[in-house]
Structure formats: structure tokens, C-alpha cells
Amino acid sequence: MHPLTFLRRLAAAALFMLGAGAASAAIVVIDFDEIEGIYIDSYSESGYTITSLETGVGGGHLHPGSGNLWLHSQYGSSPYQIRRDDGLNFDVLGFEYLGGTSTFVADNGATFDIVGEVPLTYVELPASFQNVNYINWYMTTPDPDDIYGEDWARIDNIVTRVPPVPEPAHAGMLGLGLAALLAARRARKT
């Protein structure tokens, strides 16, 4: 076999294996359809956990809604944290939001503010909320017109993306394919 033909076949095999090994990102939506209870510590769905970071007396402070999650700002927020159960990084693309002023802060320092009263809308997060390990959600300012000094916000249908992880089996198959091509070439030379 001519060396140039061999190199072409080798390159074609490598490109095929790399294409076959490319994993796609998985989109996961946290829809809170199964959330129940009052003042719960945490809620898990689809490989993610939302936890109350409340440290005061009484334990957790998640406010389950009817198929959504609520947060309030009375005397400062009891922040929530969103993480993957396996501890790996993920992207947060957006969510449905209704309510007052909130701040979202990622572990990488990215922040996103929603200011004022917002009707139910889909909020798209910037690219700085990709490849994060967690996001904290705070309500920063109570409503001054509320006699109880609090404000509420609702979040639902959090759209996340899990970055693809290369599968070791594909790299192994590529190595075996290359070894087979080299063995075939050597066999033809002898």
C-alpha cells in the first residue's frame, strides 16, 4: 500500500471515530411539578437539588408553590442554591420568573439582576452562567409598600444543559482501529 493511501485511510478512520465519539449536550428542565410541603430543606429533580441556605432557627426555608418555587425577602432573603447531584458543572440557560427584585450569583462570580416587579416572563441568562458548579438565588430588596416589609418571586421551568463528556469507549475504539490499520500495513509489507 502506498504511504499516502495509508495516511488517507488513517485520517478517515480517525475523523469517523471522532465524529462517532462526539457526545451531545443534554437539556434538562427543572419543572417543580412534584414539589410539596411547607418550609422544606431541599428539593431534588432530574439530577439537581435546590437547597435552602437558611441558617437560622427552624431549618430549611424552601417555599413550594403549586408546581413552582417561591422565595421571599422579608428581613433579607433566605437564599436558595441550585446544584447538580453529581457535583459536576452545568449551564443555566434560563427560567420562567414572576415577582420582585432578585439576584442570581454563580460560583464563578457571574451575577444577574432582575429589578422591580416583573410579570410572568422567560428570562434568558448570559453565557457567564455556563459551566458553573452552583447558582445562588437571593431577593435583595423588600417591597417598601408592603406593611410586612417583604416581597415575593416565583421561579419555574429552569432550563439547564449538561455539557457533553467524552466517552472513554470511543477513545479506546479509535486506538484499536489505528492499531488494526498499523498491523494490516505491517502484514502487507512482509
pLDDT tens by residue, 51-60: 988 766 555 6
Contacts 24+ apart (CB under 8 A), 166-175: 166/21, 166/23, 167/21, 167/23, 170/17, 170/20, 170/21, 171/21, 173/17, 173/20, 173/21, 174/13, 174/14, 174/17, 174/18, 174/21
Contact 70, 152 (CB under 8 A): yes
Of the chain, the percentage scoring pLDDT greater than 90 comes to: 44
* pLDDT (0 to 100) of residue 53: 83
- Which residues have CB under 8 Å from 1's CB, separation 6+? 185, 188
User: Across all residues in the chain, what is the average pLDDT?
Assistant: 80
Please give the Cα distance from 190 to 180 (Å, whole number).
16
User: 24: number of CA atoms within 13 Å, CB side?
Assistant: 3
* pLDDT (0 to 100) of residue 69: 93
pLDDT beyond 80 at 50: yes
Q: What is the pLDDT of residues 157-187, one digit of tens each?
A: 999 999 776 555 656 666 667 667 677 777 7
pLDDT beyond 60 at 16: no
| pTM reported for the whole predicted model | 0.72
Q: What is the rounded average pLDDT of the residues 131-153? A: 77
Q: What is the rounded average pLDDT of the residues 148-163? A: 86
Q: What is the pLDDT of residues 95-118, one digit of tens each?
A: 999 998 899 999 999 999 999 889
φ, ψ dihedrals at 121, nearest 5°? -150, 160
* pLDDT (0 to 100) of residue 25: 83
Least trusted range by pLDDT, from 35-44, 59-68, 98-107: 59-68
Q: What is the rounded average pLDDT of the residues 140-158? A: 75
Please give the Cα distance from 69 to 65 (Å, whole number).
5
* pLDDT (0 to 100) of residue 8: 57
Tell me which of 71 and 160 has the higher pLDDT: 160
Helices (H), 46-123: none
Please give the Cα distance from 117 to 99 (Å, whole number).
5
- Which residues have CB under 8 Å from 183's CB, separation 6+? none
